[in-house]
Structure 1
Amino acid sequence: MKKFDAIIIGSGQAGTPLAFRLADEGMQVLMVEKNTVGGTCVNSGCTPTKTYVASARRMWDVFHAEELGVSLSGKPKADLQKIKQRKDGIVSESVHGIETGFRDNPNITFVKGEASFVSPYEIKVSDTIYTAPKIFINVGARALVPEEYREADYLTNESVLELTELPQHLLIIGGSYIGLEFGQLFKRFGSEVTIIERSAQIINREDEDVSQSIRESLESDGVKFLTNVQNIAASGKTGEIQVTYEQDGKAHTVSGTHLLLAIGRVPNTDLLNLEAATIATDKRGYIRVNDYCETNVEGVFALGDCNGKGAFTHTAYNDFEVVASYLFEGKKRKISDRIMTYGLFVDPPLGRAGMTKKEALEKGLKVREAYIEMKQIRRAVEKGETKGFIRMLVNDRDQLIGAAVLGVGGDEIISGILNLMVSDIPYTALRDTMVLHPTVSELIPTALGKLKEIN
């Protein structure tokens, strides 16, 4: 048995910074990783997908150049092999940086392998037992693959990034964040794309007008949607994929060359033998934690996607900050303090913070709304990107409680609104601020000056 001050299982966006923080505090840290270091974000999430999104945007720019008076000759073509090579290079650079950091730190021991619990404070990797009074679980999640799709050749968010040739017709099961991002970028690359969604509305958690506007944007790119369908199943090999479904009581079939499953995610906790450690999970397999990411076993923490408190890189990193504060900074941070924020990186992007309009009304809150369409904003007009709108919600105490910025720059603009929400400052501080012209965000104070009651 080998003893450490702390064991971290998983080198994702919570586990990696935590390893360096614990090492800086003088602790001897064991880092265990069964795959490539960096977790989902670096290897199959944010970094590679946003690299692809950037290439897809360049395709859009070329195809729409004439609208801004720029003449181009010849037909542009996406070279997926070169796009992938660029992605691989960016990912490799990040991975190398993390590996070097682990290797060069005298207080960090890195072990490659799959960890499983032997007891609450002991894990096994290969044939070696390791023990520590503090253990941190950061094992992430993987793509959900329901039984009805397993007879077909299918892609996930990971394997689709390994393609070197464009699919002729990509069928995507799931009309939420992952499916929409891949759908738009592959359509812009030149594939035919059909997105199949059980619900009548894509990204069902969003307000209806947000979802509809995003759908219209993707449809303007040529993406096809099949929504409000039931009994979906798939069969066939790559090149000859068939998806069957029912709609309005009738059976239908759509054929394609490739199938991407973007239905949801499941935590990797089933690989850890948590029963041996008496670590509690919910019915979906997410590890139950308190406000400081600590499990029901004292000294054992769960961070990132596997604790069910957020499915984003920024929530994982915030989990690290919460745990570091708990251990070394007097418990100044906790999960319940954070305001949820996220983005959908289609084009135009969506930046979201706090409640949706639907959530606020369901809670029975008295809410006023600021709303302005992008086509009313001159900078958006000048850019030739007028799709979308900005919505902000203000409660009866003059606090901003929710915002959606759907449009050019929305993924960046939302952080400024979030900062005001976190600071608990009245919305009037933003309304009365002189802002930079010409920008997309300059119309936010104007919109806040015209609040309307909503029911």
Structure 2
Amino acid sequence: MSATAFDAIIIGSGQAGNPLATALADAGRRVVLIEENHLGGSCINYGCAPTKTLISTAERLHQLRTAATVAAPEVPNAASLRVDMAAAVARKDVVVRAMRNGTRTNLTKEHDHITVLGGHAAFTGPRTLHVALADGTTQDLTAPLVFINTGTRPAVPNVAGLAEASYLTTTELLDLQELPEHLLILGGGYIGMEFSQMFRRFGSRVTVVEAGMQLLEHEDDDACRGLQEALSQEGIEFVMGAHAHRVSRGADGQLTLSAHTSQGERRLRGTHLLVATGRQPNSDKLGLGYAGIKTDEQGYILVNNNLQTNVRGVYALGDIHPGSQFTHLAYDDYRIVRDALLHGRKRSARQRPLPYVVFTDPPMARIGLSEGQAQEQNVPYRVATMPVRTIGRAQHTSESRGFWKVLVGNDDRLLGATLLGPEAGEIMAILEVAMAGRLKYQQLQDMIFAHPTWAEGLNNVFRDLKRGGR
């Protein structure tokens, strides 16, 4: 049977694939988008949208629980408040469904040139695919342009007994209807941190087990220590330098996680286990070999600066190619490809800033170089660190945990910043704009910010710049 021809095939309905489908359709191209699971990709279905919705629920619960610090002391039973897990998940589901339905409407009802297929696609040649549809039928497709946007899934470590112990990934944990009594979290990355605080504030006992000696392995030591201290103050237990080697579940339903540590063998017991040890690419069932598409050792699809694979006409967008995995970068992948194909403007995917936020309380945000990266790259820098508690807004709100750290180059322009504290992501955005505009730090130092705002701290953070380095 001959293949149906389109102008473009997009595999995966993520934050790069969806807007690209729309842009190509608006330009008159006939586009087919194939999605094996839910429309919207990881961000809408099991990433940003559901997790941040639940984090917001946990934050409100925490505010109620701590209301006695600012309200009358007779607030009844505030300290013992626990989440209604089913209600919290139901609220999350409403948000996710609305976003998912909005995606479908945008792709199907508003664009005649877009065909959406539900099913699994695999290459049969460089630019031909076989699609096994959800209704049991199949289709063969071909196009001169193919875009792979299939994302990642949780990586599961090789730990004895783990599969038999009924562990959870973040996807399953987001749908849990009952609150875990004691949640063990394997992994101290940003996903583990966000879920640890979320479930602690819901009312669970939480223990984080991390193989390294610090959380968030790519961040500076001071930021990792500050975040760990803040989370520990809320009752989260950390077991660092712990290499898990066995998981078992007893007759009573309790889990036991055994780990080697520098202090000897540790056996940690809990009711639920979240595996948060990273992600792996959804490239293993795409038939990449039939197309001759190259990957790295982990299965990530190799691309050049323009997000093109080694096969002409085939691109890889979002988390499926090597690099940092963030929704905003995936969306920028779309813009890079859109501008190159439709507007004749080329921009390298290697030459762009990397802003990101860990949505804990206090949040941690970073843009540009960390101090450790500046040292590793032998970049001359000056550094200043300011405690959040010195900002007027912190004194008004009693939100005083954390610090701001800024790096400045020899030309007085910003190299990067690490922020731990309230509204860290919003302050980071100001610094990113300053970096994009190549402002010198003195311009921020002397800028008039409204009083009393968090941004006002930018007048003072550069005050004590000191030469940095090893």
Please state which band the TM-score falls in when normalised by the shorter chain.
over 0.9
Measure the CA separation in 1 of the matches of 2:414 and 2:453.
21
- Secondary structure at the residue paired with 2:400? coil
Q: CA deviation at 1:231?
A: 4.3
- Aligned partner of 1:412 in structure 2 is 426
Measure the CA separation in 2 of the matches of 1:333 and 1:227.
41
- Secondary structure at the residue paired with 1:151? helix
- Aligned partner of 1:268 in structure 2 is 282
Q: Is 1:113 matched up with 2:119?
A: yes
Measure the CA separation in 2 of the matches of 1:239 and 1:5.
54
Question: In 1, are the aligned partners of 2:244 and 2:257 still within 8 Å (CA)?
Answer: no
Q: Please give the per-residue CA displacement for 1:103-146, whole angstroms capped at 9, x wherever unaligned.
A: 21210001000110000110110231100000000000000012
- Secondary structure at the residue paired with 1:82? helix
- Secondary structure at the residue paired with 1:193? strand
Q: CA deviation at 1:100?
A: 1.3
- Secondary structure at the residue paired with 1:170? strand
- Secondary structure at the residue paired with 1:294? coil
Query: What is the total number of aligned residue pairs between the two structures?
Result: 455
Which runs of 5 or more structure 2 residues have no equivalent in the other structure? 133-137
> Which letter maps to 1:28?
R
Q: Is 1:142 matched up with 2:159?
A: no
Q: Is 1:440 matched up with 2:454?
A: yes
Query: Percent identity, aligned pairs only?
Result: 39
Q: CA deviation at 1:74?
A: 2.5
Q: CA deviation at 1:382?
A: 1.1
- Secondary structure at the residue paired with 1:309? coil
Question: In 2, are the aligned partners of 1:239 and 1:256 still within 8 Å (CA)?
Answer: no
- Aligned partner of 1:287 in structure 2 is 301
Q: Is 1:246 matched up with 2:257?
A: no
Q: CA deviation at 1:70?
A: 4.6
- Aligned partner of 1:57 in structure 2 is 59
- Aligned partner of 1:428 in structure 2 is 442
Q: Is 1:179 matched up with 2:192?
A: yes
- Aligned partner of 1:318 in structure 2 is 332
Q: State how 1:168-247 maps to structure 2 within 5 Å.
A: 168-236=181-249, 239-247=253-261
Question: In 2, are the aligned partners of 1:153 and 1:235 still within 8 Å (CA)?
Answer: no
Measure the CA separation in 2 of the matches of 1:235 and 1:46.
31
- Secondary structure at the residue paired with 2:170? coil
> Which letter maps to 1:131?
T
Shift in alpha-carbon separation, 1:110–1:429, aligned structure 2, 3 A = same
Q: CA deviation at 1:389?
A: 0.5
- Aligned partner of 1:133 in structure 2 is 144
Measure the CA separation in 1 of the matches of 2:246 and 2:383.
42
Q: CA deviation at 1:190?
A: 0.3
> Which letter maps to 2:7?
D
Q: Please give the per-residue CA displacement for 1:361-394, whole angstroms capped at 9, x wherever unaligned.
A: 1212221112210111120121111000011100
Q: Is 1:360 matched up with 2:363?
A: no
Q: What stretches of structure 1 move > 3 A for 4+ residues in a row? A: none
Task: Find 2:97's aligned residue among 80, 86, 92.
Answer: 92
Measure the CA separation in 2 of the matches of 1:369 and 1:347.
25
> Which letter maps to 1:4?
F
> Which letter maps to 1:53?
I
What TM-score, normalized by structure 1, do the two folds share?
Answer: 0.98
- Aligned partner of 1:32 in structure 2 is 34
Measure the CA separation in 2 of the matches of 1:441 and 1:428.
15
Measure the CA separation in 2 of the matches of 1:373 and 1:361.
22
Which runs of 5 or more structure 1 residues have no equivalent in the other structure? none
Measure the CA separation in 2 of the matches of 1:389 and 1:73.
34
Q: Please give the per-residue CA displacement for 1:315-349, whole angstroms capped at 9, x wherever unaligned.
A: 00000000001111223422122111111001110
> Which letter maps to 1:109?
T
Q: CA deviation at 1:226?
A: 0.3
- Secondary structure at the residue paired with 1:196? strand
- Secondary structure at the residue paired with 1:276? helix
Q: Is 1:155 matched up with 2:157?
A: no
Q: CA deviation at 1:249?
A: 5.6
Question: In 1, are the aligned partners of 2:55 and 2:198 still within 8 Å (CA)?
Answer: yes
> Which letter maps to 1:396?
N
Task: Find 1:41's aligned residue among 21, 40, 43.
Answer: 43
Q: CA deviation at 1:447?
A: 1.6
Segment drifting more, 116-125 vs 231-240: 231-240
Measure the CA separation in 2 of the matches of 1:217 and 1:295.
43
Measure the CA separation in 1 of the matches of 2:350 and 2:217.
24
Measure the CA separation in 1 of the matches of 2:353 and 2:430.
13
Q: Please give the per-residue CA displacement for 1:217-252, whole angstroms capped at 9, x wherever unaligned.
A: 111111000001224321227942110011126222
Measure the CA separation in 2 of the matches of 1:395 and 1:303.
33
Measure the CA separation in 1 of the matches of 2:375 and 2:401.
25
RMSD across aligned C-alpha pairs, in angstroms?
1.3
Question: In 2, are the aligned partners of 1:173 and 1:263 still within 8 Å (CA)?
Answer: yes
Q: Please give the per-residue CA displacement for 1:181-210, whole angstroms capped at 9, x wherever unaligned.
A: 001010000000000000111111110010
